């Protein structure tokens, strides 16, 4: 243990798995609360091969990377290497950056990817709308009219 003489905290070593991306855990929990992985996999369907990754294995790490300030597919390595973050969010698999590139090109080249993404967004917005209406009703607020 290292004693600090200026600030009131102590440092200790640990064998626990830690993460430098702790802020992403909250965002990941939000995605989990929306059942986003299930919605993504339902909308995009099963992988083309028996050994392929599910669509949520691509989309969720991509969302985490973007939320964490990533700008390129290479930044996905930060997510893939963070065992603490992956463990907390129960993410079992993160494809390689090459696999991400191939998947994104495949999805972008067909209408299937865009229509699946639209379906996921519609579902998420529907769920969020229901939750917000429920909260407003519980709080005794009148519905918003636009």
Domain ranges in the chain?
20-133
pTM of the model: 0.77
What is the per-residue pLDDT for 14? 84
Q: What does the mean pLDDT of the chain come to?
A: 87
C-alpha 125/C-alpha 89 separation (Å) is 22
1-10, 11-20, 67-76, 82-91, range with the lowest pLDDT: 1-10
Whether 84 shows a pLDDT value over 60: the answer reads yes
Contacts of residue 35, Cβ cutoff 8 Å, sequence gap at least 6:
127
C-alpha 141/C-alpha 3 separation (Å) is 52
C-alpha 66/C-alpha 73 separation (Å) is 10
Q: Which residues pair with 3 in a beta bridge?
A: 10
């Amino acid at each position: 243990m290292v004693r600090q003489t200026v600030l009131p905290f102590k440092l200790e070593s640990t064998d626990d798995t830690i993460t430098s991306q702790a802020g992403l855990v909250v965002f990941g929990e939000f995605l989990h609360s929306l059942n986003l992985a299930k919605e993504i996999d339902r909308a995009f369907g099963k992988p083309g091969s028996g050994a392929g990754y599910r669509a949520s294995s691509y989309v969720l790490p991509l969302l985490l990377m973007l939320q964490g300030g990533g700008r390129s597919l290479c930044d996905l390595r930060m997510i893939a290497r963070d065992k603490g973050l992956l463990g907390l969010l129960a993410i079992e698999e993160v494809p390689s950056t090459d696999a991400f590139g191939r998947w994104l090109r495949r999805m972008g080249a067909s209408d299937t990817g865009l229509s699946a993404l639209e379906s996921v967004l519609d579902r998420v917005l529907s769920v969020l709308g229901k939750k917000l209406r429920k909260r407003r009703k519980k709080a005794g607020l009148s519905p918003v009219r636009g």
